[in-house]
């Protein structure tokens, strides 16, 4: 392929811009904030699950307290009725003895149920505290996530502006180039890790970093100035300065 030496040198400017575009795209993809957001999103889901579990536990504790309160009521009522009958003095001796024994049993039963009621109330208090802690932890994670997303969006907005400027510069550089030269450059660049054109610095190709053999170097030097030369090692377009 033939191409004006000036157009060949312009490929190096184009390569610089293309490399900058590739680097920017890679930088955007590997922003640390992406990992931060992913981690926070997982923590937020875990936080939601924790809140649901804590609220479920609170609901169970409320039900347990309500049951404990309900269980003690009929026993207390029966105890009060029996105590009133004893105080009335209308019971016969045998019945009175049985009633006194039952009152003693009911008092023990009431004490046991009241202890259970207290335990249920304490469990409910702990469950309420658990809900509060889970909700606060979730709110903290959500605040961190919101801040991280805002940080990412700001960074991406700057990157989009930088990318737009680079693409505009690429279009400016690529526009005047011969279509066949540009097509070959793009094809080589796609095949060889984003680098389609390199310069010959001394006897070394800046694309692959290898030094040309004497025979290859002499061939490069002997080729006409408008001849598009390829590096024999990496096959990139080799621009002779």
Alpha-helix runs per DSSP H in 30-92: 32-88
Q: Mean per-residue pLDDT for 183-187?
A: 98
pLDDT beyond 90 at 205: yes
Taking all residues of the chain, what is their mean pLDDT, rounded to a whole number?
96
Among 102, 133, 164, the domain boundary falls at: 164
Looking at residue 96, what is its pLDDT?
86
- 16 vs 87: which has the higher pLDDT: 16
Looking at residue 227, what is its pLDDT?
97
Domain count, the chain: 2
Confirm whether 23 is domain-assigned.
no
The span from the CA of 22 to the CA of 19, in Å, is 5
Confirm whether 25 is domain-assigned.
no
pLDDT band at 216 (very low <50, low <70, confident <90, very high): very high
Confirm whether 18 is domain-assigned.
no
Give the DSSP H/E element, type plus range, for residue 205.
Answer: strand 204-205
- Strand 197-201: give its sheet, edge to edge: 204-205, 197-201, 237-240, 229-230
Q: Tell me, what CATH number does 52's domain have?
A: 1.10.287.1700
234 and 182 assigned to the same domain: yes
The span from the CA of 144 to the CA of 44, in Å, is 10
Looking at residue 116, what is its pLDDT?
95
Confirm whether 216 is domain-assigned.
yes
Confirm whether 204 is domain-assigned.
yes
Q: Mean per-residue pLDDT for 164-175?
A: 98
The span from the CA of 79 to the CA of 76, in Å, is 5
Burial 166-192 (b: 16+ CB within 10 A, else e): beebbeebbeebeeebbebbeebbeeb
222 and 136 assigned to the same domain: no
115 and 139 assigned to the same domain: yes
Among 164, 190, 206, the domain boundary falls at: 164
**Structural domain for 90, as ranges:** 31-164
Percentage of residues in the chain having pLDDT higher than 70: 100
Confirm whether 21 is domain-assigned.
no
201 and 136 assigned to the same domain: no
Confirm whether 171 is domain-assigned.
no
235 and 152 assigned to the same domain: no
130 and 189 assigned to the same domain: no
44 and 97 assigned to the same domain: yes
113 and 40 assigned to the same domain: yes
Confirm whether 85 is domain-assigned.
yes
In angstroms, the Cα distances linking 143 to 34, 132, 224 are 16, 16, 65
pLDDT band at 173 (very low <50, low <70, confident <90, very high): very high
Looking at residue 85, what is its pLDDT?
87
Three-state SS for 160-184 is HHHHHHHHHHHHHHHCCCCHHHHHH
70 and 116 assigned to the same domain: yes
51 and 74 assigned to the same domain: yes
Percentage of residues in the chain having pLDDT higher than 90: 93
Looking at residue 88, what is its pLDDT?
87
pLDDT beyond 90 at 228: yes
41 and 128 assigned to the same domain: yes
Looking at residue 60, what is its pLDDT?
97
Q: Are 57 and 125 in contact, with CB atoms under 8 Å apart?
A: no
pLDDT band at 91 (very low <50, low <70, confident <90, very high): confident
37 and 156 assigned to the same domain: yes
pLDDT beyond 90 at 175: yes
pLDDT beyond 90 at 99: no
Looking at residue 231, what is its pLDDT?
97
pLDDT beyond 90 at 50: yes
């Amino acid at each position: 392929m033939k191409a004006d030496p000036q157009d060949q040198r312009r490929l190096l400017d184009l390569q610089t811009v293309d490399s900058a575009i590739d680097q920017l795209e890679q930088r955007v993809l590997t922003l640390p904030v992406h990992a931060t957001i992913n981690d926070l999103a997982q923590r937020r889901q875990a936080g939601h699950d924790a809140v649901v579990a804590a609220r479920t536990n609170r609901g169970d504790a409320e039900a347990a307290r309500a049951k404990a309160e309900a269980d003690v009521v009929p026993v207390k009522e029966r105890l009060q009725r029996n105590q009133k009958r004893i105080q009335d003095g209308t019971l016969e001796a045998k019945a009175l003895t049985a009633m006194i024994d039952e009152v003693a049993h009911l008092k023990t039963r009431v004490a046991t149920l009241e202890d259970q009621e207290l335990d249920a109330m304490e469990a409910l208090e702990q469950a309420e505290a658990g809900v509060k802690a889970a909700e606060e932890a979730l709110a903290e994670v959500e605040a961190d996530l919101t801040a991280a997303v805002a940080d990412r969006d700001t960074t991406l907005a700057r990157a989009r502006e930088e990318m737009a400027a680079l693409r505009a510069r690429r279009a400016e550089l690529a526009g005047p180039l011969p279509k066949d030269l540009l097509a070959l450059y793009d094809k080589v660049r796609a095949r060889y890790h984003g680098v389609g054109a390199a310069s010959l610095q001394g006897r070394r190709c800046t694309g692959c970093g290898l030094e040309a053999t004497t025979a290859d170097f002499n061939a490069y030097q002997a080729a006409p100035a408008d001849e598009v030369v390829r590096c024999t090692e990496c096959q990139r377009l080799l621009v002779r300065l």
